[in-house]
Amino acid sequence: MAKVLVIDDDRMTCEALMELVRNIGHDADCALTVREGLAKNREIEFDVVFLDIRLPDGNGLDILPRLREQELPPEVIILTGLGDPDGAELAIRNGAWDYLQKPLSPKKILLPLKRVLKYRDNLRQADKGAMPVERCGIVGSGPAITQALERLGIAARSNASLLISGETGTGKELFARALHENSQRSRGPFVVVDCASIPATLLESTLFGHVKGAFTGADHASGGLIMEADRGTLFLDEIGEMPLALQKKLLRVLQERKYRRVGSSQEVSSDFRLVSATHRDLNEMVQNGTFREDLLYRLGAMSITLPPLRERKEDLPELVHFMARRISEKNMIPQKGISPDFMEALQEYHWPGNIRELSNVVETSLVSAYAHTELYPMHLPERVRITMIRQSLSGQDSAGAGPEPEPEDAAELPVYKEYRARVLEQADKWYFSRLMEAARWDVERACEMSGLGKSRVYDQLKQHSIEKE
């Protein structure tokens, strides 16, 4: 017998859903508020939760991750009276099973309910023989990273292509390596290609290889990185930067598993698994004509979206202790304690650079505190401390996302795409101006801080006419 919880402020909806559940032989309970729903979910191990979005004391989507914190979390079916595509997308990304729009009929409810209960039965059977996932350096135990690890474990059991999405610095390459180490191809090579750092003119020969004399400078033949990944994993980082012409050739390789080296008429083959990563919205790029839709389908047979650090701050203490220990050992620095003030300061910061930025901050702090036995806020990098001070003085959010666009007259609102393009252009110019100032106009340092390749940084500086004063 399964246990079902209904969280909805409409008592009639609760009664109707509970009666439906009991009529098919299962147990049901209800809660009228967020607080009551979370309390009952902590006390009882429910199999399914029907969750309304608009509740008297909160938004259902906000508590969805908290409902799924248990070792075997319930499957959540969202209920709403609003047709909200963005809300539906957010619900699915946060682990919801389905998204149902009111008014609800018995047929509309029973079909997904029966399917989810069958899934739960299969899940319990699968869990009995499930192998634990080797984390390979992935740190954190909060709901967001736990969900990502669950998807990693599922992906590791197949050979399907995987697309890892997430902001710069969230650990996409680390997840790709963990996937490789947990897969049946772990004994094979793991080959990394950074599509953003290799010039477009060289990317094709880097991937596919070339014969001697194929182009100027081709003094010897090269097998290419696709061939190097034979019987292993090929990781294409920042695949959104790949030129359209090369996207077409990559699509054929994924379909046929055969290709020709640059300058050769002979086909060769390579047995590799493709894992790609991007910080860009590939669906939006498809709409703009800068990314192939058919290739996107091939890349995203399975997908994982990594959460930004600001959405998983519960993992900060574990991350900081792990990084401090590793960095101290690497640089032969005595192990240091971490004061509550230091940790509190990290919790207040917005982390636009995510895990990569946190690692740099911890390392800089350890160096600054070389003669001390404990880390304090004064050891934080100057730019981080300044951001925090500005936040406390202005009362504004510490995201530092750039200037806010001026509000428009409602009667003269521009076309959405034009408005969005203008705002993004302003944000890019603001970001790269501040980036170069923070890096003291050292391009290599700017690349390290931003996670971008030199060509991308130079393109942005040229595009926005950013020059050193």
Tokens of 421: 């393009």
For CA atoms 84, 169, 160, 296, give the dihedral sign: positive
CATH topology (fold) of 143-305: Rossmann fold (3.40.50)
Bridge partners (DSSP) of residue 3 are 27
In contact, 32 and 11? CB cutoff 8 Å:
yes
Q: CA 237 → CA 79, 174, 279, 288, 354, distances in Å? A: 37, 11, 9, 21, 17
* % of the chain with per-residue pLDDT over 70: 90
In contact, 263 and 213? CB cutoff 8 Å:
yes
Per-residue model confidence as pLDDT tens digits over 150-166: 889 989 988 999 999 99
Per-residue model confidence as pLDDT tens digits over 270-300: 999 999 999 999 999 999 999 999 999 999 8
Calpha distance 327→344 (Å, rounded):
21
CATH 1.20.1440.120 fits 313-394, yes or no: no
Indicate if the pLDDT at residue 434 is higher than 90.
Answer: no
Q: CA 240 → CA 277, 299, 360, distances in Å? A: 8, 11, 26
Per-residue model confidence as pLDDT tens digits over 389-401: 766 655 544 444 4
Calpha distance 129→363 (Å, rounded):
41
Indicate if the pLDDT at residue 90 is higher than 80.
Answer: no
Domains of the chain by residue range? 3-128, 143-305, 313-394, 410-463
Q: Do domains 3-128 and 143-305 have the same CATH topology?
A: yes
Confidence at residue 407, expressed as pLDDT on a 0 to 100 scale: 46
Q: Angle CA(361)–CA(362)–CA(367) in degrees, nearest 5?
A: 100
Superfamily of domain 3-128: Response regulator (3.40.50.2300)
